[in-house]
Amino acid sequence: MIMLFDRFIKYLSNERQYSPHTIKSYSRDLIQFFNLLNFSYDSVHKVTLDCVRHWIVELKKQDFSAKTINRKISSVKTFFSFCEREKCIDFNPLLKIRNLKHSKRLPVVVSESSLQSLFDTKNVFSNNFTGIRDRLILELFYQTGIRLSELINIRLIDYNTVAKELTILGKRNKQRVVPITSQIVILLDQYIQYRVKYYVNPKLDFLFLSNNGKKSYPKMIYRIVNYYLSLVSSVQKKSPHILRHAFATHLLNRGADLNAIKDLLGHSSLLSTQVYTQVSSDKIKKAYKNSHPRG
């Protein structure tokens, strides 16, 4: 099983091209699965449908949310599908397992007026390297809808100033080209000029670096976004992903095509994008109820 487990991890990395973070989650879920069933690693062929059901019941007893349990089910399903493909099992015990029903939480969105205030108010961003860098980070999140991991991995060569485009490396190493506004082009050019002076002979060509010239990291970017959003918004979670939600929702509210938003976000399925139609629909219903004389 250990060798099988190693092959599975290589499969996730090489064939499925999952991120290290996702692979770590899959590994943790599988270890938990076999430990809870008290099975040794060479007992994959002994796992039955009843075993899987027992595991799910135990997860419920431990107060895991339906969403978390579904994620764990997905991890184990992927593993047993791999085992089936490798002919390590004759029967896949996960075939009849369905995801638990759970209410989907709609994305929290920062209002247009709050973000307008952030970017239009004078002296929010200082007129130096740090201020220009911070503004560029927030503008890129809000104007392109890119993910945190995607922003961190932008390299200088990914910026095409003539075509006004950025090449983004998304999930599973899928590349997409996103358009950028003239405003961001000006900001990017200004930032790159400051960057050359700020870092003496930087060894890395990533667009954003830490203060010591190393590759930027999630906590650093999160801290920057959290600080500025705290100035204009009272939403509880002030993360880069909130700006991605705002990007999609505000585009949809202004009549953008859902398929276009899907491509800009780098979603592989339209189902992932359709959650924003619900956010937009709820806003319309609320406005109607609050405004109509008979609402």
152 & 279 share domain: yes
**Catalytic, out of 7, 176, 241, 283:** 241
Give yes or no: 267 in active site.
yes
- Same domain? For 77 and 128 the reply is no
Domain check: are 130 and 231 in the same one?
Answer: yes
Total number of domains in the chain: 2
Residue 285 lies in a domain: yes
* 57 plus 139 within the same structural domain: no
**Does residue 114 have a pLDDT over 50?**
yes
CATH code where residue 51 lies: 1.10.150
Are residues 231 and 154 part of one domain?
Answer: yes
Q: CA of 73: how far to CAs of 180, 218, 219, 271, in Å?
A: 39, 27, 29, 20
**Measured distance CA(144)–CA(177) in Å, rounded:** 10
| C-beta of residue 273 within 8 angstroms of C-beta of residue 258 | yes
Q: Which of 7, 71, 77, 147 is catalytic?
A: 147
Residue 109: name the closest of 295, 282, 285 by CA: 282
In a domain, residue 102? The reply is no
Q: Under DSSP, is residue 213 helix (H, G, I), strand (E, B) or coil?
A: coil
Is 171 marked active-site?
Answer: yes
For position 106, what pLDDT does the model report?
60
Q: Kindly indicate the confidence band of residue 234, based on its pLDDT and cuts at 50, 70 and 90.
A: confident
In a domain, 103, yes or no: no
Q: Kindly state whether residues 47 and 190 are assigned to the same domain.
A: no
Is 234 a member of any domain? yes
* Mean pLDDT, range 159-169, rounded to an integer: 95
Q: Residue 276: is its pLDDT beyond 90?
A: no
From residue 229, alpha-carbon distances to 12, 112, 239, 294, 295 in Å are: 36, 12, 8, 37, 33
The mean pLDDT of 15-20, rounded to a whole number, is 85
- Over residues 63-92, the pLDDT tens digits come to 888 889 999 999 999 999 999 998 889 889
Does residue 138 share a domain with residue 22?
no
186 C-beta neighbours (distance < 10 Å), count: 10
What is the number of other CB atoms lying within 10 angstroms of the CB of residue 228? Answer: 19
In the predicted structure, residue 180 carries a pLDDT above the cut 80? yes
* Same domain, residue pair 74 and 165: no
Report CA 92 to chain centroid distance, whole Å.
30
On whether the CB atoms of residues 248 and 276 are closer than 8 A, the answer is yes
In a domain, 41, yes or no: yes
Helix (H, G, I), strand (E, B) or coil at 203: coil
pTM: 0.70
Query: Do the domain assignments include residue 98?
Result: no
Among 133, 135, 195, 244, the one annotated catalytic: 244
Encode 104-127 in three state secondary structure. Answer: CCCCCCCCHHHHHHHHHCCCCCCC
Active site residue 244: yes
227 as an active site residue: the answer is no
Pair (144, 280) in one structural domain:
yes
- 35: exposed, middle or buried (Cβ count in 10 Å: 0-12, 13-18, 19+): exposed
Residue 294: per-residue pLDDT: 45
Q: Is the pLDDT of residue 246 over 70?
A: yes
Distance in angstroms (rounded) separating the CA atoms of residues 86 and 81: 9
Radius of gyration of the chain (CA): 23
* CATH number of residue 265's parent domain: 1.10.443.10
With respect to residue 104, please indicate whether it lies within any of the assigned structural domains: no
Q: Would you say residue 264 lies in a domain?
A: yes
Please pick, among 7, 171, 176, 283, the residue that the annotation labels catalytic: 171
The answer on pLDDT for 13 being more than 80 is yes
212 in the same domain as 133: yes
Strands 159-160 and 165-169, sheet pairing = antiparallel
Residues 146, 77 within the same domain: no
Range of the domain at 122: 112-290
206 and 76, same structural domain? no
Contact 248, 112 (CB under 8 A): no
